[in-house]
Amino acid sequence: MLSHFHSIFPKFYISGHNYYKSENYLRADSCFSRVSESSYILADYALYYLAKSNHEMGDYSSAIKYYYEYKNKYPDGYWKEKIELEKANCFHKLGEFLKMEEVLRDFIRNFSSSGLISDAMFQLSLSLEEQKKWEDAAENYYQIWLNHPLSEWANKAKEKFTKIIEIHHLELKPPNLVLL
């Protein structure tokens, strides 16, 4: 009986993953929910995809709850960096820009060598713009452009930096600009 009980979780996980890939997030949610509460070896992945399913359904509050649960249960888990950016995205969707800013500043501080750092910095800049913190946003865009010139965000950051400086008549002279 016990082996039958444990053999059901792989089936739920596979079904959940198939539902997720076919964008049937409600059914994926149901499958991943069962697996995430188990001791099955992929319970951490199930919890991540449970959060993602809620995120995709537009239930951002539930997604945030599951992202925090993942962070607490699996502090060194595979998705530890990605969940922070996705959590920030949920706060953005909810219009909670200050919370978004906090999550992203924590990400930048805690994962400074991450390959996702330019993504976090760009999202942070968007959050700062939403809060009308023009100078901070411009400085952050400048740092992306200067320090991550090969990132997918470099050109967009340069454009946004220039636009903010012009529109808001800011006289930012980042220290490194003088050296160029």
Is residue 17's pLDDT more than 60?
Answer: yes
Structure tokens at 16: 């959940």
Of all residues in the chain, the percent with pLDDT exceeding 70 is 92
Contact between residue 128 and residue 137 where contact means Cβ atoms under 8 Å apart? yes
**Of residues 33, 21, 101, 100, the one with CA closest to residue 62:** 33
Please write the tens of the pLDDT for every residue from 76-109: 999 999 999 999 999 999 999 999 999 999 999 9
Is residue 27's pLDDT more than 70?
Answer: yes
Contact between residue 60 and residue 93 where contact means Cβ atoms under 8 Å apart? yes
Q: How confident is the model at residue 2 (pLDDT cuts 50, 70, 90)?
A: very low
User: 1-78 and 96-180: same fold?
Assistant: yes
Name the fold adopted by 1-78. 1.25.40
Q: What is the mean pLDDT of residues 26-34?
A: 96
Write down the pLDDT at residue 7: 76
Q: How confident is the model at residue 1 (pLDDT cuts 50, 70, 90)?
A: very low
Q: How confident is the model at residue 3 (pLDDT cuts 50, 70, 90)?
A: very low
CATH match of 96-180 with 1.25.40.10? yes
Q: What is the mean pLDDT of residues 126-135?
A: 96
Q: How many residues does the chain have?
A: 180
**Of residues 36, 105, 3, the one with CA closest to residue 12:** 36
Which residue ranges make up each domain of the chain?
1-78, 96-180
